[in-house]
Structure 1
Amino acid sequence: MRRRTILTGTALGVAGAALGLARPAGARAGSAGGEVLAIRGVTVIDASGGARRGQTVLIRGGRILDAGPAQRVPVPHGARIVDGAGKHLIPGLADMHTHAVGIDDTDPELYVLNGVTTTRQMSGGALARQWRQQVADGARLGPRWSIGSRIVDGSPSLWDDLDGDGSVHLAVENPAQAREAVRQEHAAGAEFIKTYTRLTRASFLAVADESNRLGLPFLGHVPDFVQLTEASDRGMRTVEHLFEIWYDTSADEDRLRAAVAAVPIGRGEYNGWFNRMHPIEYAAARSHDRRKAEKVFGRLARNGTFCTPTLALHETNDKPEQIDRHDPRYRYFSADVIGYWDWALENQYLPGRTPNQISRSKELFRRRLALTADLAAAGVPLMTGTDLGTTYLMPGFSLHDELALLVRAGLEPIQALAAATVNPARYLGRRDSGVVARGAVADLVLLDADPLHDIRNTTRVNSVVVQGRLIGPAERARLLADIEALAGRPKPAAAAPVATAPVASRGCPC
C-alpha cells in the first residue's frame, strides 16, 4: 500500500511567535506607512514586458508608485534606496495548488522567504483560514491566500473513512446533494468549488450548473465519468494535474473510458483505486494521438480553461527511487516531518516496485513533460502548483522545482515565469498583480542572477517585498536560520499535530 497524509491540525502561531515574524510597529519601506522604497538600477523581468534594464521601481503603501527607466523615474528625497545593479526583479511567485498540512507551523514564512507571495488552498480547512487571518492581522509573514471549498466527491468517496470529521471532503450521492454541497460551501465563504475524481457525471453537471448560477468558479479533478472537453465546455476554470488529460487524447478512448468506469472502489479505498487506474492511465498515455490532442487543447484554450500540471507531484509519484533523501533544504523541517517522509518512502512508495514498473513510470513521466509542452504550445494557460502536502514537497522551495520542471518540459524561462506570475493573476481576476508596473501590488522578488539565462536562478533570492514590506538579505537569512533552529527543537506536547484526515494514496493527488 502506497499512501500519503494530509494533516490539518497544529498549535497555531507557535512558529510565528517564536520567530518574531509579526510585522513590527512602524515597519519601514511601505509596510503600512508613507515612506518610499526605491529599487534603483535593476533589471525588471515580467511576462508582459520581458527584460528591461536600468529600471527604478518605487514602492509605497503596498503598491508600486512607478516603474521605468532611471532617467524617467527620479528617486524622491528621503526614500530608502536598494541598489539593484546587477540584480533582477520579478513579480512575486504563486503556488496555485497547496494543502495546509500543519505538522510544522512555518509554511507561511517559508513561502514568503522563497519568494512565493500567493497561494491557493485546495481543500478548505480551518488551518489555512487561521494562517490567512494571522497574516492579515500583521501577526506573521505569509502570502496572499485563495481558499476553496472542501473536496466535493462522489459517494462512495475516495475520502470516506480517511476524513473522519468531514473537514476535508463532502461525498454526494446525486445531483440534489451536489447542488446543496455547492450552496453550503459558498455560504461558508469558499472562493471556489473543488471537484473530485468519483463524482458521477450527473452530479458533476449539477456542481457546474449551481456554481455558475452563484458566480462561483469550479475546478479541480475531472471526474472519472466526465470528458475533459465537456468539463471545459461547462465552465471548469482549472484542470488540476495531468492524470485525466490522456483519455480525451487517446486513440483508444472509448475502450479505456469503459475500463475506467468499471474500476470499483470501496469506502476510502484510495490505494485499490489508484493501483487499478495506473495501467489504464499508462495505456492511455501510450495511445496518445497528437492530432486529436491538438483539437482538445485548442478547445481548452478557446474556453479559457487553465491547467496546473503539478509536475513536482508527478515526479515524486512516478520516480520515488530518485528522491534525494539528503536534500539540504530538509534542514528547515522538523524530525516529525522528515521521519514521516522517510517512513512513507520505505513502507509505501518503494515496496513492490518491479523493474518493469519502474521503467514504465519513468516513461510515463517523460510523456507528462511532453504533454505539458503541448498544452503550452496550444495556448492553454498553465499555472505553477506543487500539491504541497505530498511527501517530500516543501512550502516555497518546491515551487522553484516546478519552474525548473516546466523548462525541462520545453517551455522557455519567460513562459515558466508567466505560469508563476501573470497567469495566476489572470485566473484570480487581478490586473494589478503578476507584473512590475505602476499601480500593481508590491509583491516582488529581487534575484542575484538572471532567471531568463537559467530558470534555476529563481532560487537565488536576495530580497523579497511582500505587500510592500521589504525583507532584505540580512533579515531573510536570520529568519531562515531561526526556522532551521526551530525545526531542531522538540515539540512540546501541547503543540503535537493531530491527524484529522490521516491516510490517502500517495499516487492519488488532491
Structure 2
Amino acid sequence: MSVTAITGARVFDGEKTRSALTVLVDSGRIARIGGDVPEGAEIVDGSGATLLPGLIDAHVHTGRDALALALRFGVTTELEMQGTNTADNRAHISGDDTVADVRSSGFGITPPGGHPSELFPEGFRPGPPAGAEPTGAPPLMPFSTTPEEAVAFIPQLIDRGSDYIKFMVDDGSVEGHPGLPMLDQATLNAGVAEAKRRGMLTIAHTLTVDATRMAIEAGIDGLAHLFMDQPHTDETINLIKDAGVFVVPCVVLNASMMGITGSELADDPRVAARLDADWDKALRSSFGHYPQGKIEDVLATVKALSDAGVDLLAGTDVSFPLPFLGGLAHGASVHHELQYLVRAGLTPAQALRTATATTARRFSLDDRGRIAEGLRADLILVDGDPTTTISDTLNTRAIWRRGTRLAV
C-alpha cells in the first residue's frame, strides 16, 4: 500500500477544527499530521475541502450490501442494534475495504412476541438483509420473561460475539400495538446487572418516557432512541443527565414514525446519485405509526439534552429497503440526522462530534472516530466546510476505509 498525503484541507479531527495540515496515511493508519510530504507519496489535493473522520452510524440493522451503500456516503462504521453481524459472523466484512465496518449486539433481549415482531405485516418473515453472508450458527434469539432467563442469555450472547447487549423496553404504544409483551422491571434489572458484571456495554430500545425511566432505573449505559410520546420536562432531562447515559436520538426515525418522509433528502442530487430504485422508494416513504407525534417536541428535547451536557450519538435505525420501514437509507440518513441535529439547535461542530469522536468514545472504539496519529485511516474529504454548513458533508470528494480509497 502506497503512502498517501492529503494536503491543503481544513481538518475537523472529530472534536475541533484545525487549520490546513498535511495528513499522511500509511499502511491503513494515520501516520502523521503536519510536516512535509515525503518523496514518492501519492498526493491528494484537499484545497477548498474539509477532511473528516469516517462517520459512524450508532443504530442500524445491516448486511453486506447495506454496508457498501453506507460507505459510499462516508459512513465507515455501522453499529448494529439487532442482527447477525456479531464477532463470530463478520470475518468476510472486517477485512473488506469496499464496505463499512460493523459491530453488533446480536439480537436484543425481549419477550416472545415482543418488539420488533409488531413492525412486520402479517405473513412477512424477515430474513437476513440483502448481501448478508452469515458463516456461523443461526442467531441466538434471547427471548426472556423472567430475571433468570435474561441472566442466562447474557453469557450466551457474549460467547456468540455480541459486542454490546441490547434490551427491548417497548409496550408497542408508539408502533400502534399497545399491550405488546415487554420486559418487566425485575427482568430488565437482572439482565442489565449481569451484562455489566461481565464488562459489557448495555443499551436499551426506549421510545417512551416510561420506558426511558425503566432503563435508567436498571442502570443502562445508553438509550438507542429518544422518547417521542411527550415533550421533555426539566425532571426528565435531569434524570438522563444524572444517570450519565448516552442517547442516540434517531430523529430521522422519529420523523418517519410521525409520517415525515425522506423525500427532501432523496431529491438532493448528491443523494439520488448514490441510491438505487428500491432505496429511493424506501426513503420517500415512512413508518407512519405515530402521526400524533410532534417533531418540534423531539427537536426541543435534543437541544435540552445537548445543553445539559448529555452525550448525543448520531444514529438512524435504518434497516431493509422496504416502504413500510421507510424514510431511511443507509449512509444517506446519517447526513439527514446531522441536519436534524443542527435544526434542533446544535452547532455543526457539535453535530459532527455525534457521528465521530463521541460515538467512538462511548462504544470504546479507540482506533477510529478521530483524526489522530496511529488511528485507522477512515476518512472523508468533502468540498466546503461542514463545520459551518452541515449539508456540506454530502459534497464527497474522496472516501478512505483503512487507508484504501473507495472507487467512486
State the TM-score, normalizing by the size of structure 2: 0.82
SS at match of 2:110: strand
Task: Tell me which residue corresponds to 1:469.
Answer: 404
Distance 1:78 1:321 in 2: 49
SS at match of 2:300: helix
**Cα separation, partners in 2 of 1:88 and 1:407, compared to 1, 3 Å:** same
Select which of 207, 216, 228 maps to 1:232: 216
Alignment of 1:352-431 (within 5 A): 360-361=292-293, 364-389=294-319, 390-431=325-366
Task: Tell me which residue corresponds to 2:135.
Answer: none
Alpha carbons 2:72, 2:274 under 8 Å: kept: no
Distance 1:118 1:340 in 2: 22
Task: Tell me which residue corresponds to 1:312.
Answer: 252
* 2:26 is aligned with 1:60: yes
Q: Which amino acid aligns with 1:441?
A: R
Structure 2, unaligned runs of 5 or more: 128-137, 171-181, 320-324
Task: Tell me which residue corresponds to 2:142.
Answer: 170
* 2:78 is aligned with 1:134: no
Task: Tell me which residue corresponds to 1:85.
Answer: 47
How far apart are residue 154 of structure 1 and its match? 2.5
Distance 1:37 1:153 in 2: 47
Q: Which amino acid aligns with 1:66?
A: R
Distance 1:76 1:91 in 2: 22
How far apart are residue 242 of structure 1 and its match? 1.3
How far apart are residue 202 of structure 1 and its match? 0.8
SS at match of 1:76: coil
Q: Which amino acid aligns with 2:339?
A: A
Please list the CA deviations of residues 382-434 of structure 1 after superposition, one character each: whole Å capped at 9, or x if unmatched: 10001012313111111100000000000001100100000111012234422
Distance 1:429 1:174 in 2: 30
**Cα separation, partners in 2 of 1:207 and 1:337, compared to 1, 3 Å:** same
**Cα separation, partners in 2 of 1:136 and 1:453, compared to 1, 3 Å:** same
**Cα separation, partners in 2 of 1:126 and 1:39, compared to 1, 3 Å:** closer
Alpha carbons 2:147, 2:187 under 8 Å: kept: yes
Please list the CA deviations of residues 217-251 of structure 1 after superposition, one character each: whole Å capped at 9, or x if unmatched: 111224979664563364412101112xx7xxxxx
Alpha carbons 2:150, 2:190 under 8 Å: kept: yes
Distance 1:186 1:128 in 2: 9
* 2:111 is aligned with 1:154: yes
**Cα separation, partners in 2 of 1:335 and 1:78, compared to 1, 3 Å:** closer
Distance 2:87 2:66 in 1: 10
Distance 1:129 1:367 in 2: 41
SS at match of 1:81: strand
Task: Tell me which residue corresponds to 2:134.
Answer: none
Alpha carbons 1:201, 1:223 under 8 Å: kept: no
* 2:228 is aligned with 1:289: no
How far apart are residue 443 of structure 1 and its match? 0.8
Q: Which amino acid aligns with 2:187?
A: S
How far apart are residue 366 of structure 1 and its match? 0.3
Distance 1:94 1:227 in 2: 26
Q: Which amino acid aligns with 1:308?
A: V
**Cα separation, partners in 2 of 1:46 and 1:164, compared to 1, 3 Å:** closer
**Cα separation, partners in 2 of 1:234 and 1:444, compared to 1, 3 Å:** same
**Cα separation, partners in 2 of 1:432 and 1:136, compared to 1, 3 Å:** closer
How far apart are residue 135 of structure 1 and its match? 3.0
How far apart are residue 93 of structure 1 and its match? 0.5
Select which of 59, 73, 81 maps to 1:114: 73
**Cα separation, partners in 2 of 1:448 and 1:150, compared to 1, 3 Å:** same
Distance 1:340 1:58 in 2: 39
> Which has the higher mean CA deviation after the structures are superposed, 416-425 or 311-320?
311-320
Q: Name whichever structure is richer in helix by fraction.
A: 1
Alpha carbons 1:93, 1:117 under 8 Å: kept: yes
* 2:100 is aligned with 1:143: yes
Task: Tell me which residue corresponds to 1:13.
Answer: none
Alpha carbons 1:311, 1:405 under 8 Å: kept: yes
Alpha carbons 1:241, 1:310 under 8 Å: kept: yes
**Cα separation, partners in 2 of 1:176 and 1:367, compared to 1, 3 Å:** same
Alpha carbons 1:40, 1:81 under 8 Å: kept: yes
Alpha carbons 1:195, 1:223 under 8 Å: kept: no
Distance 1:47 1:225 in 2: 31
How far apart are residue 216 of structure 1 and its match? 1.4
**Cα separation, partners in 2 of 1:221 and 1:78, compared to 1, 3 Å:** same
Structure 1, unaligned runs of 5 or more: 1-32, 247-280, 351-356, 477-510
Select which of 181, 192, 212 maps to 2:164: 192
Q: Which amino acid aligns with 2:151?
A: R
Alpha carbons 2:140, 2:157 under 8 Å: kept: no
SS at match of 1:376: helix
How far apart are residue 289 of structure 1 and its match? 2.8
**Cα separation, partners in 2 of 1:37 and 1:299, compared to 1, 3 Å:** same
**Cα separation, partners in 2 of 1:326 and 1:45, compared to 1, 3 Å:** closer
Task: Tell me which residue corresponds to 1:212.
Answer: 196
Select which of 14, 35, 42 maps to 2:9: 42
SS at match of 1:433: coil
**Cα separation, partners in 2 of 1:75 and 1:224, compared to 1, 3 Å:** closer
How far apart are residue 137 of structure 1 and its match? 3.8
User: Which is higher, the Rg of structure 1 or of structure 2?
Assistant: 1
Alpha carbons 1:448, 1:460 under 8 Å: kept: yes
Distance 2:392 2:265 in 1: 23
Alpha carbons 1:369, 1:409 under 8 Å: kept: yes
Select which of 354, 372, 378 maps to 1:443: 378
State the TM-score, normalizing by the size of structure 1: 0.67
How far apart are residue 295 of structure 1 and its match? 2.4
